[in-house]
Chains A and B, each alone.
Chain A
Amino acid sequence: MAKTIPADSVGIVKPQSIHFDEPLQLRSGRVIDKYDLMVETYGTLNADKSNAILVCHALSGDHHAAGYHDPENEKEKPGWWDCAIGPGKAFDTEKFFVVSLNNLGGCAGSTGPSSINPDTGKPFGPDFPIITVRDWVKSQAHLADHLGIDKWAAVIGGSLGGMQVMRWAISYPDRLRHALVIAAAPKLSAQNIAFNEVARQSITSDPDFHDGRYYDYGTYPKRGLMLARMVGHINYLSDQAMRDKFGKDAIEGNFGRDLRTGQLNFSYEVDFQVESYLKYKGESFSSKFDANTYLLITKTLDYFDPAVDYDGDLSRAFADSQCKFLVISFSHDWRFPPERSRDIVNTLLKAKKPVSYLEIEAAQGHDAFLLPIERYIKALKAYMSVVAREIGAEADDDAAVDTAAYIGANTVMDEDYE
Chain B
Amino acid sequence: MNSMRADLEIIKQWIEPGSRVLDLGCGDGAFLAHLKTEKDIFDTGLEIDPGNIELCLKAGVNVIEQDMDKGLSNFISGSFDTVLLAQTLQTVQRPDILVEEMLRIGNRCIITFPNFAYWRHRFSLLTQGYMPYSKALPYEWFDTPNIHHCTIRDFDMLCKKRNIRILHRTVVDFNHRSSFLMKLHPNLFGINAIYHFTR
Would you call B65 and A346 a contact (CB within 8 A)? no
Tell me if B57 and A383 are in contact (CB < 8 A): yes
The verdict on A350 contacting B76 (CB below 8 Å), with A379-B54, A383-B57, A385-B58 known, is yes
Chain B 51-73 near chain A by CB (<8 Å), digits 1 or 0: 00111111111111110000000
B64 touches A355 (CB 8 A): yes
Separation of A214 and B171 alpha carbons in the complex (Å): 79
Interface of B, secondary structure class, is: mixed
Whether A382 pairs with B64 at a CB distance below 8 angstroms is no
Known: A349-B79, A356-B64, A359-B65. A382 touches B74 (CB 8 A): no
A357 proximal to B (CB < 8 A): yes
Contact B62 A356 (CB under 8 A): yes
Q: Check B155 for interface membership: any CB of A closer than 8 A.
A: no
**A346 and B74: CB pair below 8 A?**
yes
| Residue on B nearest A354 in the bound complex, by CB | B62
Q: A379 and B53 in contact (CB under 8 A), knowing A342-B74, A352-B79?
A: yes
Shortest distance from the beta carbon of B90 to any chain A beta carbon, whole Å: 26
A299 at the interface (CB under 8 A from B): no
Contact B74 A386 (CB under 8 A): no
Q: Is the CB of B74 within 8 A of A356?
A: no
Q: A346-B74, A375-B54 are in contact. List 8 more A-B contacts (CB 8 A).
A: A324-B62, A349-B75, A350-B76, A356-B56, A356-B61, A357-B65, A359-B65, A375-B50
B57 touches A345 (CB 8 A): no
CA distance A93 to B53 in the complex (A): 25
B20 at the interface (CB under 8 A from A): yes
Residue-wise interface mask of B (70-88) relative to A, using a CB-CB cutoff of 8 A (1 in contact, 0 not): 0000111001000000000
Cβ-defined contact, A357 with B57, below 8 A: no
Could you tell me the distance between the alpha carbons of A399 and B57 in the complex, rounded to whole angstroms?
13
Cβ-closest chain A residue relative to B29: A356
Provide a sorted-by-A list of 23 A–B residue pairs whose CB atoms are within 8 angstroms.
Answer: A342-B74, A346-B74, A349-B74, A349-B75, A354-B42, A354-B43, A354-B62, A355-B62, A355-B64, A356-B56, A356-B57, A356-B62, A357-B65, A358-B53, A358-B65, A375-B50, A379-B53, A379-B54, A379-B57, A385-B58, A386-B57, A386-B59, A399-B58
User: Which residues of A lie under 8 Å from residue B54 when comparing CB positions?
Assistant: 375, 378-379, 382
Task: Flag if B60 contacts A386 (CB, 8 Å).
Answer: yes
A342 vs B66: C-alpha distance when bound (angstroms): 10
B111-147 interface (Cβ within 8 A of A): none
Contact A352 B20 (CB under 8 A): yes
Interface of A toward B, CB cutoff 8 Å: 324, 326, 342, 345-346, 349-350, 352, 354-359, 375, 378-379, 382-383, 385-386, 389, 399
Closest 3 CB pairs of A and B: A382-B57, A386-B60, A346-B74
A382 neighbours in B (Cβ, 8 Å): 54-55, 57-58
Assembly CA distance A346 to B73 (angstroms): 10
Interface size class of B (residues with CB under 8 A): 20 to 34
Do residues A357 and B66 form an inter-chain contact, with CB atoms below 8 A?
Answer: yes
Contact status B64-A357, CB under 8 Å: yes
Are A386 and B58 in contact, with the CB atoms below 8 A? yes
Return the CB mask of B24-51 against A: 1 if under 8 Å, else 0: 0000000000000000001110000010
Beta-carbon contact of B63 and A356 below 8 Å: yes
Contacts of B62 in A (CB 8 A): 324, 354-356
Tell me the complex Cα distance, A278–B59, Å. Answer: 43
Q: Which residues of B contact A375 (CB under 8 A)?
A: 50, 54
Cα A15 to Cα B72 in complex, Å, equals 47
Nearest Cβ on chain A to B14's Cβ, whole angstroms: 21
CA distance A324 to B60 in the complex (A): 10
The docked-state distance in angstroms from the alpha carbon of A372 to that of B103 is 41
Nearest opposing residue in chain B for A350, CB measure? B76
- Enumerate chain A residues within 8 angstroms of B53, measured Cβ to Cβ: 358, 379
- Measured CB to CB, the closest approach of chain A to B79, in angstroms, equals 7
Highest count of chain A CB atoms <10 Å: which of B44, B62, B75, B79? B62
Q: How far is the CA of A349 from the CA of B50 in the complex (A)?
A: 21
Q: Mark B86-104, 1 if CB is under 8 A from A, else 0.
A: 0000000000000000000
Of all chain B residues, the one with the shortest Cβ separation from A378 is B54
CA of A382 to CA of B59, assembled, Å: 8
Q: Which of B20, B58, B66 is the most central at the interface, judged by chain A CB atoms within 10 Å of its CB? A: B58
- How many angstroms between the C-alpha atoms of A135 and B59 in the bound complex? 35
Shortest beta-carbon distance, B12 to chain A, in Å? 21
- Cβ of A345: which chain B residues have Cβ within 8 Å of it? 64, 74
Nearest-Cβ distance from residue B73 to partner chain A, whole angstroms: 9
- Distance in Å from the Cβ of B46 to the closest Cβ of chain A? 10
Closest residue of chain A to B54 (Cβ to Cβ) is: A382
Which residue of B is nearest A325, CB measured?
B62
